[in-house]
Structure 1
């Protein structure tokens, strides 16, 4: 009887444990040994839910955990927490592992290696950036540390005394954390060096987000270059300094985005893309390596619209990557064809969504295109609760192929982006979209849904462009 093969997983969150669980479903313990290595103390949790835990929508960190370490172990997955991999040796099929004793390292062999090392939050090397009171929000431990700090601040101050928070970065995490802190009673300032918040939108749509945040009482400063975090006599952060001003803070939150955590892969000579993420084939196998796989935030994915690879850190992709990897290691066959770049977020009651390409991305890909922006309504205008909604649409010049959609509005705006995501995946033109048979009733949409209004206008623009 042949000895069982060993599958080693580095990183025990979405991609890694999805791969391990799927492989275990397909292969018995006697056929496949699975060892998962995690340098933290938690597994299979939703990092996307951390802002809602901070804001009070989620009351217990345990609610963010999909599967505990004990549950994974019950499925015959050997899970080692607080264990760090310090070196990959692909040619000899082994990894160097450091456990709780920093002085003790051992080699662990593998037949299949899954790299699910995630992404690391950007933390610029600025004076004071590591001072107490400055927080990232990447892991559950980060969230717990921030909550503890907020509770100490709130306990130490009289209820009517102002509490101030500064968020550095106005991307998804930045605006979600701004909402969480506003809900906790803080005066919030968001600093970003871009022209407008949410650089995942075109600047004209980002301006709508900027204006709405200011109306919510969130001071939003764009074009702001942070130069330092100033500390008090005890060494704790007291303000964030930019080239033009100093913004007082009882707490500072970093929301500057992430980069693929691929230092080990780079050192081992594995192929990386322009963003530093691992490059894989459609089966999520690292290019040029038969027995090494990669998924989640450490990998780049194929953009189905532009045809290029991109780094998009989302739990939806990570879980799908893990399913594909686990299926292939378990003896089945699966592929991950790519993405169209769909994302949705909110700040207070403002919903923000995008899919496909921005203008800058379309131009970089060498595409000629037309753009339209429409203002419509979330419901029939006469129905109570109808709110304005802005939809921007990009379509390819002459062909009319849909290239991208951005939506900013109130209730019902965000998930409308799914219409466009399906159309993009199907390669539809804006003309074809105008005939989509979408659901209609006054409480849910106007007679012409805002996405279809934009498609009609874009189709007309394509026709006019074709005559010149």
Structure 2
């Protein structure tokens, strides 16, 4: 019997999910699996790093789903601290390098999975590599930041960026007793929301004691005589800092793929078909934060770096590599986050997204509570809904509020996936009891208002 070899580049969510699923379907006598990971850890939750830094998660190892040893026990040859430096598509092989010895090795493959993830946005600013400036992409990054927070005498922290990473790290630093300033290049924090909803986040962050500066274009990281960070400069101001955290988002890590001639999209991510096979390459698959996926609402490709998608990609890839069958149809863009007790959620399109693809739409904004008004401590929330003019098709939902707000977005995510209209949504049979919802759930209240807006627009 001929034994095929599967090579996996990347030892985190997508890569190791693919390897594990393929191993479930084929044993070592049918499929040899070799995986390369350039870091110190495999199968870890990068999404959990802010909560580990902030103290909600007590220890680093709680974020590790499966260790290298556990993967090896399942007959997966996982080679840690080994970086793949080249993909030879024509030759069916990859070149890897041991960073400690500098030695290089070629490894042939019959099937290849590219799961190289994403890299943090790190602009070439003066002082960006100074001591005291931290990213938060890996567990090593998280440990370095925690060590710095303990050792730093000053208590002034500046976070550059106000997206998911930025607001989550602002909370973590606040929990550690730091005075926190967030420098945001955009009009409002959380650019994944419309500006009117982002304004609610800004107001809440101010109320928590986090200073948020919008329209702040960072020009340099100032350092002292010892080369340590002392301030962050913008075009018209300077913000003192004892520690700086970069939270400017991520980009697909596809340098290897680009050099190998694999197809990339407008966001720089790999392009695949529904089976997660790289377009035009019968024996190469890709998944996780290095790919672009189909937005089911807009019909366009987009880059959505989330661990949920990465694990699903891996399952689909592993099924196909292992002789089974699976597809990944696309996403609707659902994401949730929090900063202290403020919950933030979105799914589907923002106003500018809808306009960019030529959709005409109406909006509805309502305020409601997470529980019946007479039940103790109801959480207040604002729900914004977008619907297509004439058809009434749901296009997007954004929610900002207190306890019980964020996960309500899942109802909208299901409705988007099903292609429902806002009128159809008003008849949804959602659960009700005073501790969990008013008689009319906030999502349904927003849908009723959106129905009225659709009718008025006609």
Q: TM-score range by the shorter chain?
A: over 0.9
1:79-134 CA distance string (max 9 Å, x none): 10111111111111111111245542121110000000000000010000000000
Counterpart selection for 2:402 from 399, 410, 425: 410
Aligned to 1:127: 126
Matched with 2:85 is 86
Deviation at 1:47, TM superposition (A): 0.2
Q: Secondary structure at the match of 2:204?
A: helix
Where in structure 2 are the equivalents of 1:194-209 lying within 5 Å?
A: 194-209=186-201
Structure 1: 5+ residue runs without aligned partners? none
The reply on whether 1:251 has 2:243 as its aligned counterpart is yes
Residue aligning to 2:38: 39
**Alignment-derived partner of residue 105 in structure 2:** 106
State the alpha-carbon separation in 2 of the partners of residues 32 and 91 from structure 1.
21
- Given candidates 222, 228, 233, the residue that maps to 1:236 is 228
Match of residue 326 from structure 2:
334
Superimposed CA distance per residue, residues 312-361 of structure 1 (whole angstroms, 9 cap, x where no aligned partner): 00000000000000000000010001010000000000000000000111
Q: Is 1:381 aligned to 2:373, yes or no? A: yes
Residue 53 of structure 2 corresponds to residue 54 of structure 1: yes
Which residue matches 1:301? 293
> CA–CA distance in 2 between the matches of 1:52 and 1:215?
21
Q: Deviations over 1:390-417 (max 9, x none)?
A: 0000001100000000000000000000
**Residues 1:323 and 2:315 are matched in the alignment:** yes
Distance 1:296 1:17 in 2: 11
Aligned residue for 1:363? Answer: 355
Q: Is the 8 A contact 2:343 2:405 kept in 1?
A: yes
Distance 1:230 1:378 in 2: 45
SS of corresponding position for 1:92 = coil
Q: Which moved more, 1:139-148 or 1:94-103?
A: 94-103
Secondary structure at 1:91 match in 2: coil
Partner SS, residue 443 of structure 1: coil
Aligned residues, how many? 458
Q: Secondary structure at the match of 1:417?
A: helix
How far residue 370 of structure 1 moved from its aligned partner, in angstroms, is 0.5
Q: Distance in 1 between the 2:421 and 2:68 partners?
A: 47
Could you tell me how far apart the structure 2 residues matched to 1:105 and 1:74 are?
26
Q: Which residue of 2 aligns with 1:66?
A: 65
Q: Distance in 2 between matches of 1:370 and 1:285?
A: 38
Task: Give deviations 1:219-260, integer Å, cap 9, x for gaps.
Answer: 000000100000011100011011111111110000000000
1:356-409 alpha-carbon deviations (Å, 9 max, x no partner): 000111111111111111111111111111122100000011000000000000
Q: Deviations over 1:429-457 (max 9, x none)?
A: 00000000101111111111110000000
- Which of the residues 208, 212, 226 maps onto 1:220? 212
Equivalence for 1:351: 343
User: Residue 297 of structure 1: SS of its match in structure 2?
Assistant: coil
Verify the 8 A CA contact 2:269 2:303 in the aligned structure 1.
Answer: yes
Corresponding residue of 1:8: 7
TM-score (norm 2): 0.99
1:169 aligns with: 161
Q: Which residue, 419, 424, 430 being the options, matches 1:432? A: 424
Cα offsets for 1:15-55 (capped at 9, x unmatched): 00000000000001010000000000100000000000000
Does the 8 Å CA contact 2:379/2:404 hold for their aligned counterparts? no
Q: TM-score normalized by structure 1? A: 0.97
Q: Deviations over 1:119-153 (max 9, x none)?
A: 00000100000000000000000000000101111
Q: Give, in whole Å, the separation in 1 of the partners of 2:61 and 2:433.
A: 39
Q: Distance in 1 between matches of 2:69 and 2:86?
A: 27
Measured in 1, the distance between the counterparts of 2:265 and 2:101 equals 32
Point out 4+ residue stretches in structure 1 off by more than 6 angstroms: none
Query: What is the CA–CA distance in structure 1 between the aligned matches of 2:350 and 2:407, rounded to whole Å?
Result: 18
Q: State the shift of 1:311 in Å.
A: 0.2
Deviations 1:54-93 (A, max 9, x none): 0001111000000000000000000101111111111111
Task: State the partner residue of 1:286.
Answer: 278
Q: Does 1:310 align with 2:302?
A: yes
